Copies of this chain bind each other. A is one copy, B any other.
C-alpha cells in the first residue's frame, strides 16, 4: 500500500521564508465558504437530491478531463463507458471494470491538475489514505460505492459539507429551469442560481438552430423570425432567468469577434441563418453581432456578461460522429481581443452599469491584450485561468502576467467552471494555495507589504467573485 497524503504545504514555495508567509495567508482563507459563480454542475442533483450512482459514473464516465487522457494513450472510449450517440454500447458497461481500467492508468495523471483534484476528493471526501493503483482499485471502488449509499453523500449534504455559499449553473434559453424552480420551492437553504448561455439560439451552426429559434419564439410569444422579435425574445428569457436567480450570461464563441451592424443587415443574417443558407463568415458575423446585442441588454438588465472564446470544438471528427459534443476533443486556438472586441467596446466600453468578464485559452493575451484592456476600460474584468489553464502552473502564469498591468481589482477571483462536483473544493483549494504562494513570494521579495497580502488573499479567494458577479 502506497500512502496517499495531502501535505499541508502543497503548492507552497520551497523557500522556507516564503512558505511561512504562504502558510499564514492560507490560514486566513482556507475555511472561507466557496463562491462558485460559473460552472456546469447539473441542477437536478440539487433539485432531486438522489444519490450519485457509482464510482465510475461519478468520476470517469462524465469527465472529459479524465477519459481524454486515457484515450490519448490508446484506451477506447467504449471501454470507459462513454455512451455513443446512437445508444449502442460496444462493450459490457460494468462500472467496476471501468474503474479498474482507470486505476491501471492512474500514473498517466502524474503532474496534471486532474491528479491533484482526484487525490483531494479521494482523501478529503471519501477518507481514503492510500494511492489509487491497479492493486488498490477494488478497495477504492468498494469504499466509494459504500459512501455513495450513505445519506451524507447525497448532493445536498455534500453541497453543505463543501460549504458552498452559492453556485451558478449554466442553461440554455430554451430550458424551463424546472430544477431551479424546484430547488427554490423545496425550502432547502442551498443557493443555486442559473446563468444565461444562449449558444443554441445565437450560433447558426448549432445543431437544430432554426428549430431552437422557433422554440424560443413559442416560449416567449415573439416572432423570432424577425430581428426585432428575436431580440425581444432574448430580453424576455433574460428577464425570466434573472427572476430565477441569474446574475450573469455566458458566451462561448469560437472567437471574440464583435460587430455593430445596422438592423437591416442583422435581419438578413438572421434570415439566412434560419434558412440554413448562411456561410461560415456570416455565421461568425451573426455571432459577433449577438455579442454586442447581449452587451447592450446587459446595460439594461444588469446581468454580468462572460465571454469564453477561442475553443475549436469537436476537433476530432470521428469522435464527434460517434459520441457527440464535449468529449475531450476541444482544442484552444490563438485568439485576438484587440480588434475583435473593438466594435463592442465602441458601443458599451465606457458604461458604468456593465461588467464584461473576459476569459482566454490563449495565454499570450494575458499581458499583451487582456491586462491592458482591463486596465483601461471600465466595463472589463479578467476571469481566472480557464480550462487547460485552471492548473498550478496556469494560475501562476496568469498572476505573473496579468496583475502588473491590470492590478488585482480588475480580476474577479476564481471560478471552477466544472461539471465535476467532487472537484469543486479541490479546485478552489488549488486557487487559494496558488494565490497565497504568489502573494507570499511578493511579500518576501518586497513587492507587496504583508498587510496588503492579508487583505488580498480573501478578496481573491471569495470577495472579488461575489462582487463582480453580484452574488
Interface hit among A3-11, A135-143, A148-156 = A3-11
A162 touches B (CB below 8 Å) = no
A319 touches B (CB below 8 Å) = yes
A334 touches B (CB below 8 Å) = yes
- Chain B: minimal CB distance from A56 (Å): 20
A418 touches B (CB below 8 Å) = no
Complex Cα spacing A372 to B449, Å: 38
Complex Cα spacing A342 to B333, Å: 13
Contact A315/B332 with A68-B376, A367-B389 known, Cβ cut-off 8 Å:
no
A181 touches B (CB below 8 Å) = no
Residues of B near A410 (CB, < 8 A) are: 72-73
Residues of B near A93 (CB, < 8 A) are: none
- Chain B: minimal CB distance from A286 (Å): 21
B14:A441 contact, CB within 8 angstroms: yes
Complex Cα spacing A10 to B6, Å: 31
Interface hit among A228-236, A244-252, A391-399 = A391-399
Cβ-neighbour of A332 out of B112, B319, B368, B404 (below 8 A): B368
A375 touches B (CB below 8 Å) = yes
Contact A388/B374 with A14-B444, A363-B367 known, Cβ cut-off 8 Å:
no
Chain A: residues with Cβ within 8 Å of the partner, total of 93
Complex Cα spacing A436 to B456, Å: 29
A145 touches B (CB below 8 Å) = no
In chain B, what residue has the closest Cβ to A405? B388
In chain B, what residue has the closest Cβ to A391? B404
B369:A445 contact, CB within 8 angstroms: no
A29 touches B (CB below 8 Å) = no
A109 touches B (CB below 8 Å) = yes
Complex Cα spacing A372 to B409, Å: 31
Complex Cα spacing A373 to B12, Å: 30
Residues of B near A371 (CB, < 8 A) are: 388
Cβ-neighbour of A7 out of B367, B372, B446 (below 8 A): B446
Contact A448/B334 with A14-B15, A329-B376, A394-B367 known, Cβ cut-off 8 Å:
no
Binary CB contact string for chain A from 110 to 143 against chain B (1 if under 8 A, 0 otherwise): 1111001000000000000001000000000000
Complex Cα spacing A92 to B250, Å: 41
B334:A376 contact, CB within 8 angstroms: no
Contact A316/B72 with A338-B331, A404-B113 known, Cβ cut-off 8 Å:
no
Q: Can you spell out 25 A-B residue pairs with CB atoms less than 8 angstroms apart? A: A2-B449, A2-B451, A9-B446, A13-B445, A14-B445, A68-B376, A69-B407, A72-B374, A72-B378, A72-B380, A73-B410, A74-B378, A107-B452, A107-B455, A110-B408, A111-B404, A111-B442, A315-B345, A317-B346, A318-B349, A318-B350, A328-B375, A331-B372, A334-B364, A362-B364
Q: Which 4 A-B pairs have the closest CB atoms?
A: A10-B446, A7-B446, A14-B15, A391-B404
